[in-house]
């Protein structure tokens, strides 16, 4: 049995930063993730994707951010169970929990923090004729290695941050980049949208708005897409790759049976400390929901900080949280 103060379910960026905040308060952390490595979606889905909204970094690659977080938390010696999925939660008489994974690893902890990392995210697939037949043959739902797209013709579909950021990034790599969006405005950051419009005006990308991809075709590999505009105009475009970027659908798995308040596959929390309706269980990052929620990494960092301040009372019930700042062997602590 593994004994710790806080068990964090999810070793993505928010879960990793929670280790740092907990470490400042001398709370030990053990992390469980169904993926075989830390980093969550950043490492598994888009390690080379540039991220532009991390304070202090004009841009940082996703995997680089994960590596930096691992270096930041190293002084606090977190432990990990990777490649295993949480299956069971059992509350003890003293309020603590036993958590059991599908490989029968047991963790005893005072506090549970759900930070995503459930290994159950599926891409949202648009309704396009022939799409699944070309999966892995020119159609993919993520970009792990952008170098594979160098000097290729690439079509991106979507209107969120991921579609915008990849359009800007691939403009310097691919032979031809086309972004197709069903509307004439974007859901992503205005600054990113402005960059896309600038690239289009300069002729460096093709921007097709108020249109949908309705069909894909090819001979063993993707060769052509069919585009239908809102005015019913139908055109075709030759391409080597199609990457629909419509987000991911989370699946809570066994956690859905823990008595938590769920709203559309997200866990409802109190924004005072990001506690759930079940005492000693918190939810931070993309897995939670509340009025005004923004699914940004930096928001998850904020949630992790407040959560740790609240969790302290369960780990050290007889102590009052002190904010006197000191340094021990070069490690900041309270």
Annotated binding site: 33, 41, 46, 86, 121, 286, 327
Q: Looking up tokens 């929620």, which residue turns up?
A: 293
Residues 6+ apart with CB under 8 A from 131: 125, 139, 216, 244
Q: How far apart are CA 80 and CA 4, in angstroms?
A: 11
CB 194 within 8 A of CB 232: no
* CA distance readout (Å), 158 to 127, 211, 242, 244, 296: 13, 11, 11, 6, 18
CB 60 within 8 A of CB 84: no
Q: Looking up tokens 């280790």, which residue turns up?
A: 19
CB 108 within 8 A of CB 88: no
Residue 52 three-state SS: coil
90: left (phi over 0), alpha (psi -120 to 50) or beta: beta
Residues 6+ apart with CB under 8 A from 64: none
Annotated binding site for FAD: 33, 41, 46, 86, 121, 286, 327
DSSP string, 108-136: EESEEEE-S--S-EEEPPP--BTTGGGBT
Q: How far apart are CA 26 and CA 13, in angstroms?
A: 20
CA-closest candidate to residue 258, choices 85, 105, 112, 116: 112
Q: How far apart are CA 89 and CA 226, in angstroms?
A: 49
């Amino acid at each position: 049995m593994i004994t710790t103060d806080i068990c964090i379910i999810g070793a993505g960026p928010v879960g990793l930063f929670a280790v740092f905040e907990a470490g400042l308060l001398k709370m030990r952390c053990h992390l469980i993730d169904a993926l075989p490595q830390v980093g969550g979606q950043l490492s598994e889905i888009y390690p080379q994707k540039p991220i532009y909204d991390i304070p202090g970094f004009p841009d940082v690659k996703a995997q680089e951010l994960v590596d930096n977080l691992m270096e930041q938390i190293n002084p606090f010696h977190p432990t990990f169970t990777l490649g295993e999925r949480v299956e069971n939660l059992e509350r003890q008489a003293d309020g603590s929990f036993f958590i059991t994974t599908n490989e029968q690893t047991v963790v005893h902890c005072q506090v549970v923090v759900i930070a995503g990392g459930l290994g159950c995210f599926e891409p949202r697939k648009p309704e396009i004729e022939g799409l699944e037949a070309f999966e892995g043959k020119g159609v993919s739902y993520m970009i792990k290695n952008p170098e594979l797209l160098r000097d290729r013709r690439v079509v991106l579909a979507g209107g969120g941050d991921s579609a915008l950021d990849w359009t800007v990034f691939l403009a310097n790599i691919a032979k031809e980049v086309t972004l197709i969006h069903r509307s004439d405005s974007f859901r992503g950051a205005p600054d990113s949208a402005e960059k896309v419009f600038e690239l289009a005006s300069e002729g460096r990308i093709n921007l097709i708005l108020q249109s949908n991809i309705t069909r894909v075709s090819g001979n063993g590999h993707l060769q052509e897409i069919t585009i239908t505009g809102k005015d019913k105009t139908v055109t075709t475009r030759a391409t080597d790759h199609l990457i629909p970027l419509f987000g991911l659908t989370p699946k809570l798995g066994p956690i859905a049976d823990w008595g938590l308040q769920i709203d559309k596959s997200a866990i409802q929390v109190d924004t005072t400390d990001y506690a759930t309706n079940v005492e000693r269980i918190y939810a931070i990052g993309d897995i939670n929901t509340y009025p005004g929620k923004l699914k940004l990494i930096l928001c998850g960092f904020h949630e992790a900080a407040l959560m740790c301040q609240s969790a302290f009372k369960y780990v050290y019930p007889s102590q009052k949280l002190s904010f006197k700042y000191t340094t021990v062997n070069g490690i900041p602590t309270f």
